[in-house]
Structure 1
Amino acid sequence: MTLLTEVYRRPLDPGYAEATARRAAGTGPRRTWRSTAGLVALAMGLGLGATAATLALRQPAGAVLAARELLEAQIEQRSSEADDVQAEITAMTDEIAMLQEELLGDEGQSVRDEIDADSVQSGVTAVTGPGLRLELTDAPSDNPDEEDPELRVQDVDLQVVVNGLWAAGAEAIAVNGQRLTAMTAIRSAGDAVLVDLVALSSPYTVEAVGDAAGMQTELARASAGQHLATLRTTYGIGVQMTSQSRLELPGTGLVTLHEAGVPDASAAPEPEAGAGGGAPEQRLVAGSAGQTRRDGT
């Protein structure tokens, strides 16, 4: 209380009060042009120093600029090499198709039909036809500085959707223009989702060629439909499904054959009792079997 009372009665410090009184009486020190010039020079020096320090901090170092230029040059070189290799692959694919036509002739129509059907199943050739288009968009975040991973479309979400479409009768599927095959893997790397090591970002457009009405019905009945409903209602992720009269899915080109051989029929294992008779396995995206929860458990 004593301190509060003193502050209330004497709000001005005694030193400041004494200086004010001397200045009012005319006995205080007078400001000369030298002191004024000194203050101006000091203020200008401080301002120039602060400006120089700011520019020095904002300007990248020479080593950083050199490294950046080197990386940009390497990226351009690798991109040019990749384009050249892709053009060579396209030319070789056309040449192989022409040689197949010449080798088979008119009598090999059945073989050509089988090759065309297998190329569609393997994803080698492009596909055109009606189907479904499903677009998944990240949910809006209230705090952009702290992004919640639960509000983003994750790799497991795409895995569930893709496997649900395969089970619903899709003939060919692509995600953001990346054609899916039996060798395709959908993984995550940080905030990005990788499809065959190609980084994708929101929105994710999943296109499936097939019977649009049938796939939509089967997808709604399966667990994939429930997963999409959970993404929409619980996490606010955008889910939009539309039927398309025409979809164009790209091909992956020829697949490199690393190893092949003719199996020995005598060494083939006998099917276990009650295992079923030769039903084809369901096509699954690598690493997605059994994953139906966003927490990965």
Structure 2
Amino acid sequence: MSAPPPERPRPDRVYAPDFLTELFRNPLDPGYADAAAARRRRGSSEPPQGWQAWSGRSISLFVVLVLGFLFAIAYRQTMADEPGRAQARSGLVTQIKDRESQTDRLSTRADQLREEVNRQRDAALSGSAAARLRDLEAGTGFGRVRGDGVVVRLADAPGKADAVTGAGAGPPRVLYSDLQGVANALWSAGAEAVAINGQRLTSTSTIRSAGEAILVDFRPVTGPYEVSAIGPGSMRRAFDDSRSAALMRRVAQETGLSFGVRGADDLTLPAAPEPQLRYAKPSVSPSPSVSGGRSGSPGSPGSSGSPATASPSGGGR
């Protein structure tokens, strides 16, 4: 029986480090460490070269000089363009003043022609017919009226156009809904004629806003706003007791907005501009021989008609 062969010695196993473990243990490339060691060995023996020779203070001074140079160029360019802008601005101001003067002259001429038409009409009509026509014009707003009444004045709070106020009070400036509420309250109090900044209100008048502007019958009005009304002697007391007046007093107290009511003797309210009347017309069939289909029949109502214009309606804050 033979003896077993001797066991061969097992070679020692070498375990290489895991890649991820080595990556987290030494995240930087060895070249960075070699470069840092080389710089430490050199020390201060070699003078800095290139951008290394610039200190932080020198770089800051250079940046300041560059910015100052750019600001100087921009200022010089701005001053060079200023005469042109000033000239353009003055030209626009001159054009605006010329247009305003022309508008005033045309308005005065229109009033004179209107008075002349009224005189010619009264001369052509009998006395009773002319008086009845004048009463109808005064009641509808297309005739100038005079009498005692009330003036309600509203103005924005000084220096608080963009201020933030308490909840429910609204901005410290006059809104179109404020003028709507005041005008409706005056009508309810017995007013016979109402005008806002000299613009007469009629049954088809509108009080709206366009951005920051307030339009009365599509014409802009600016503050301070005066709502003038002619009516009986009890009109002021009735207006003071209205909900609109109470609301405006509360808004004025909370926001600083100006609101005041005063009596006025011998008020004169101008006439409203003449309206542009539109009439509906029956549609006409393109051919009498066409029957049925989608064509309209003779005598059917057309699509044209008088525009629906909303009357002033109250608006709350």
Distance 1:58 1:123 in 2: 54
Distance 2:245 2:203 in 1: 23
Q: SS of 2:215's equivalent?
A: strand
5 Å-filtered alignment, 1:192-231, equals 192-212=213-233, 214-231=234-251
5 Å-filtered alignment, 1:75-154, equals 75=96, 78-79=99-100, 82-83=103-104, 85-104=106-125, 108-141=126-159, 146-148=162-164, 150-154=171-175
Q: SS of 2:255's equivalent?
A: coil
Distance 2:214 2:221 in 1: 5
| Native 8 Å contact 1:134 1:207 kept in 2 | yes
Residue 191 of structure 2: which of 170, 179, 182 is its match?
170
Q: Give a deviation string over 1:107-149, Cα, whole Å, max 9, x none.
A: x22211111111112222222211111111222456x6x4446
Distance 2:248 2:145 in 1: 26
Q: SS of 2:149's equivalent?
A: strand
TM-score by structure 1 length? 0.62
Which amino acid in 2 is paired with 1:229?
R
Question: How far has the Cα of 1:186 moved from its partner?
Answer: 0.9
Pairing 1:293–2:316 present: yes
Which amino acid in 1 is paired with 2:242?
A
Distance 1:58-1:111 versus aligned 2 partners, 3 A rule: farther
Residue 210 of structure 2: which of 189, 194, 202 is its match?
189
Which amino acid in 2 is paired with 1:129?
G
Structure 2: 5+ residue runs without aligned partners? 1-63, 165-169, 282-308
Q: SS of 2:171's equivalent?
A: helix
Question: How far has the Cα of 1:218 moved from its partner?
Answer: 1.5
Distance 2:140 2:196 in 1: 16
| Native 8 Å contact 2:183 2:194 kept in 1 | yes
- Residue equivalent to 1:249: 269
- Residue equivalent to 2:74: 53
Q: Give a deviation string over 1:54-98, Cα, whole Å, max 9, x none.
A: 142355489967876775676567556645643553343233223
Distance 1:60 1:147 in 2: 35
| Native 8 Å contact 2:205 2:311 kept in 1 | no
Distance 1:256 1:246 in 2: 31
Higher RCO structure, 1 or 2 (CA under 8 Å, sep 6+): 1
Question: How far has the Cα of 1:196 moved from its partner?
Answer: 2.0
Distance 1:242-1:81 versus aligned 2 partners, 3 A rule: closer
Instruction: Indicate the structure (1 or 2) with the bigger Cα radius of gyration.
Output: 2
Which amino acid in 1 is paired with 2:229?
A
Distance 1:190-1:119 versus aligned 2 partners, 3 A rule: same
Q: SS of 2:152's equivalent?
A: strand
The percentage of aligned residue pairs carrying the same residue is 30
Distance 1:75-1:260 versus aligned 2 partners, 3 A rule: farther
Question: How far has the Cα of 1:223 moved from its partner?
Answer: 2.2
Distance 2:311 2:172 in 1: 22
Which amino acid in 2 is paired with 1:195?
V
How many residues of Structure 1 are paired with residues of Structure 2 in the alignment?
223
Large movers: runs of 4+ above 6 Å: 45-49, 61-67
Q: Give a deviation string over 1:168-200, Cα, whole Å, max 9, x none.
A: 111111112222222321111222211122322
Structure 1: 5+ residue runs without aligned partners? 1-41, 262-284
Distance 1:147-1:83 versus aligned 2 partners, 3 A rule: same
Question: RMSD between aligned alpha carbons?
Answer: 3.6
Question: How far has the Cα of 1:231 moved from its partner?
Answer: 1.8
Q: SS of 1:150's equivalent?
A: coil
- Residue equivalent to 1:270: none
Distance 1:224 1:52 in 2: 58
Distance 1:229 1:80 in 2: 38
Question: How far has the Cα of 1:221 moved from its partner?
Answer: 3.0
Question: How far has the Cα of 1:50 moved from its partner?
Answer: 4.1
